[in-house]
Amino acid sequence: MPPIPPPDQTAPPDAARRRAAAPVICYPPDTLPPVDRAWTAAIRRALRPVRTTRVPPRDGRAVRVARGQIVRIVCPEGPQVGDLNLWSAADPSERFYSGKTRALHGAHVSAGDRLWSTFPHLRPLATITHDTLAWYGIDADGGAVHDVIGTRCDPYTARLLSGDSYHRCCHSNLTRALADALDCSRAEAEPLVHDVLNVFMCTGFSADTHQYFMKASPVRAGDYLELYAEVDLLVGLSACPGGDCGAEHSSDAAPCHPLDIAVYDTDPALHRPAPAPSAYDRSHGA
Ligand SMILES: [Zn+2]
């Protein structure tokens, strides 16, 4: 078969004008309720520790967090990235929607951003109330922490690219953790595992090729990302085999450390009602 000829890629005479079109934010979040800073400060003032679950390196855990509780994803020792999944405890088919959260709040999230759920619910499962890495900002490479870009390291892509089977990827760690939490089989749990919030991971897109890059996480022992549970949650976390994700993942090569999931009670007088699911009637024009 002859090769398919390349399309004519000659730039049109008005190419410069076309490239100069003004960017428009796709989903301006201006109509969302603003962050209530006074409420955030109040609810953070009286945290009472309930329990802390340690996530061993290259492993996962899932814990239940009640509406109104606060949960911290903590880096207790060496630099370590965590892959976070959230499910509604009442119906785990309602789960964190990484892509729509990215569309609404940007590629990296921090305090004040909400973590939205899948269709047809599209409501906040959690709100970020504190981020000890908020100082990092956007670095000279365009990198920032806590991304909702990446999918999660997984054995299928690892197999595709290397030909090897690796069982300690975040996808598998989260699958085992969710199966344990729901007391179901791994085959039942696996389809509920979803694209993640990469806690502590420092990522961006390369300026020249727009490829997804990672660089060593700036996280230090004691840093945490703190969430308020807007609904009863199952919180799944994998301590990524990439460690600080400064070199590679999907292998046993990187030094890895544990993570903690710390749950706190808060003042019930300050609890908010669970957000209502989307009011769209789902008729889709029929
Ligand atoms: Zn991973």
Residue 239 structure tokens: 């301590």
Q: Would residue 46 count as lying in a domain?
A: no
Residue 52 CB-density burial (10 A; 0-12 exposed, 13-18 middle, 19+ buried): middle
Q: Which of 8-17, 100-109, 272-281 has the lowest mean pLDDT?
A: 8-17
Q: Per the structure, how many domains does the chain have? A: 1
pLDDT digits (tens, 9 = 90+) for 57-116: 999 999 999 999 999 999 999 999 999 999 999 999 999 999 999 999 999 999 999 999
- Per cent of the chain over pLDDT 70 is 99
CA 268 to centroid of ligand 1, rounded, Å: 35
pLDDT digits (tens, 9 = 90+) for 221-247: 999 999 999 999 999 999 999 888 888
CA 77 to centroid of ligand 1, rounded, Å: 18
- Dihedrals φ, ψ of 189, to 5°? -75, -35
Q: Would residue 39 count as lying in a domain?
A: no
CA 240 to centroid of ligand 1, rounded, Å: 4
CA 183 to centroid of ligand 1, rounded, Å: 23
CA 137 to centroid of ligand 1, rounded, Å: 22
End-to-end, the C-alpha distance of the chain in Å comes to: 45
Q: Would residue 17 count as lying in a domain?
A: no
Q: Would residue 13 count as lying in a domain?
A: no
pLDDT at 1 over 70: no
From CA 250, how far away is CA 159, in angstroms rounded?
A: 10
- Sign of the torsion formed by the C-alpha atoms of 245, 251, 256 and 259: positive
Q: What is the pTM of this model?
A: 0.94
CB-proximal residues (5 Å) to ion ligand 1: 83, 153, 170, 240
Q: Would residue 5 count as lying in a domain?
A: no
pLDDT digits (tens, 9 = 90+) for 53-67: 999 999 999 999 999
CA 68 to centroid of ligand 1, rounded, Å: 29
Place of tokens 């996480």: 217
- Going by pLDDT thresholds of 50, 70 and 90, the confidence category of residue 29 is confident
Residue 163 structure tokens: 């030909």
From CA 31, how far away is CA 218, in angstroms rounded?
A: 33
Domain carrying residue 140: 53-220+229-268
Q: Would residue 23 count as lying in a domain?
A: no
* Cα 197 from chain centre: 1
From CA 216, how far away is CA 145, in angstroms rounded?
A: 10
pLDDT at 32 over 90: no
Q: Would residue 283 count as lying in a domain?
A: no
Q: Are 262 and 130 in contact (CB under 8 A)?
A: no
pLDDT digits (tens, 9 = 90+) for 114-170: 999 999 999 999 999 999 999 999 999 999 999 999 899 999 999 999 899 999 999
CA 242 to centroid of ligand 1, rounded, Å: 6
Q: Are 196 and 84 in contact (CB under 8 A)?
A: yes
Q: Would residue 9 count as lying in a domain?
A: no
- pLDDT for the residue numbered 33: 82
CA 222 to centroid of ligand 1, rounded, Å: 21
